[in-house]
Amino acid sequence: MTDPTADPTEDQEGRGGPLSGTLVVDLTRALAGPHAGMMMADLGARVVKVETPGTGDDTRSWGPPFVEGSDGHDVATYFLSCNRNKESVALDLKSQDGRDVLTALLRRADVLMENFRPGTLDRLGFPPEHLAELNPRLVVLSISGFGHDGPEGGRAGYDQIAQGEAGLMSLTGSGPEDPQRVGVPIGDLLSGMYGAYGVLAALLERERTGRGQVVRTSLLASIVGVHAFQGTRWTVAGQVPRAQGNHHPSIAPYGLFRCRGGAVQIACGNESLWRRLCAELGLDPDAEGMATNAERVANRPQVIALLEETFADLDGETLLGRLSAAGVPAGKVRTLDEVYDWDQTRSQGLLVDVEHPTLGTVQLPGPPLRFFAPDGTETTPTTHTSPPLLDEHGPAVRAWLQEG
C-alpha cells in the first residue's frame, strides 16, 4: 500500500513525458474512458482514478482470467490491461464527503474524464456550468455510447452492441451472412483514443484562450470515424459494403492465402508489387483478367485460386523468404504468445515490467508511442507503475489535498 505520508505526485512527476505536470481526474470505468486515461498517464500525466468504494471499476471483477495476489485476493487481468500508471481513490460520489474530495481535486485538475450515461454527472451535482465555476481552465472529456443528444442519446454503451449498430460487424466476417465482432473491444478503444486526442487539442487551445471546454465523443462516433473507404463506398458510390473475409475489397491480391501446412498474408498495393510477385513465382502478370488491379478485384476468386495453387507445394517459411527477397510485402498470422515473444515487439518497448503490490513483478503490454530529441536521444518515459489496488492512494491523495 502507498505510504499516506508520501507526496503522491512524486512517482508520477519523476516519470517525465510530454504531459508531466498535468493532473487528470478519471471518473471512468470499464474500457473506453480508462484507456483514454491510460494514454494520458503513459504521456506523463498524473491520473487519479476515482472508483466506487468496495467494488471499484467494473473490470476488477471481469474474468476469468484472474491471478491470485499475495493477499489472497484475485486480480483481473482485464483491469491490468487499461490502468497502468494511475493512482486509485475510492469515493462515494453520492455522499457529501465524496463530493467534497472530488471538488477539491477538480479545483486543481487540468482534465476531468467521465463516461457515465448522459446526465449522470449533472445529477451528482457537477453539471458543466458548475465545473466551469470550480475551475475555468478545466478540460472535460465525456464519452457516451451513442452520443449525448439526438433521439437515442441516452442509450447505454456496450462495445459489441455499438460494433453492430455502427456497421462494423457488417464489414467483418467470412461473408455477408457471417457478421463478426472484432477480437478486441474496438469501439471502446477507439473512443478512448479519440477522447485523448480531443483532450490534447483542448489543452492546446487553452494555451491561447486560458479556458477549458467540454470534449464529447461516443462509441458510435468513433466507429463511424474509422469507416474510411468503406464509408465513402456508400456515401459517394452508393455501394453497401459487406463482409468478405480476409481479402481487401478494393485491392487484389491483398489478403490471406493458403500454402503447404499453413497460410501467409500478401499485400500487393500497386502494380509494381504485382509484377514482382509474378516474376518470383513464374506467373504472367498480364494474363487475361489480371493485368490491372481493377481486373483482379473483379476476378478475385480466380486470383486467389491461381496463387493458392502456386503456393500448394511451398511451406510458409520458404514462401515468406522468397517474397521478402522479391520485395513483396508479406507476413504470417501470429498468436499473441508469438507476438510478445517476437524480438521486434520487444525492441519497440511494447512490453513493460511493473511492480504490483500483491502480484510482484508483472509484464504488461506497453505504450505504443516513442519520443526522441532532435539529436536522436530517446526521451520516452521508461518508468511505469502498476495498475493500482482499489483506494491504494486514497490516504495520500486526501492528505495532499488537505495540505493545499
pLDDT in tens, 3-22: 433 444 444 556 789 999 99
pLDDT at 403: 87
Q: Say what the pTM is.
A: 0.92
Does the annotation mark 188 as catalytic?
A: yes
Domain that holds residue 276: 254-334
The reply to whether 329 and 363 lie within a common domain is: no
Instruction: Please tell me the total count of domains within the chain.
Output: 2
The reply to whether 309 and 182 lie within a common domain is: no
Amino acid present at 301: P
- Residues of the chain predicted below pLDDT 70: 1-14, 404
Question: pLDDT, tens digit, for every residue of 55-85?
Answer: 999 999 999 999 999 999 999 999 999 999 9
Out of 26, 57, 159, 188, the active site residue is: 188
pLDDT at 3: 43
pLDDT at 154: 84
Burial tier of 79 (Cβ tally within 10 Å: 0-12, 13-18, 19+):
buried
The reply to whether 220 and 315 lie within a common domain is: no
CB burial of 58-67 (b: ≥16 within 10 Å; e: otherwise) equals bbbebeeebe
The reply to whether 268 and 313 lie within a common domain is: yes
pLDDT at 237: 96
pLDDT at 404: 66
Amino acid present at 217: T
**What CATH number should be reported for the domain holding residue 274?**
3.30.1540.10
Torsion of CA 400, 21, 23, 372, to 10 degrees: -140
The reply to whether 177 and 280 lie within a common domain is: no
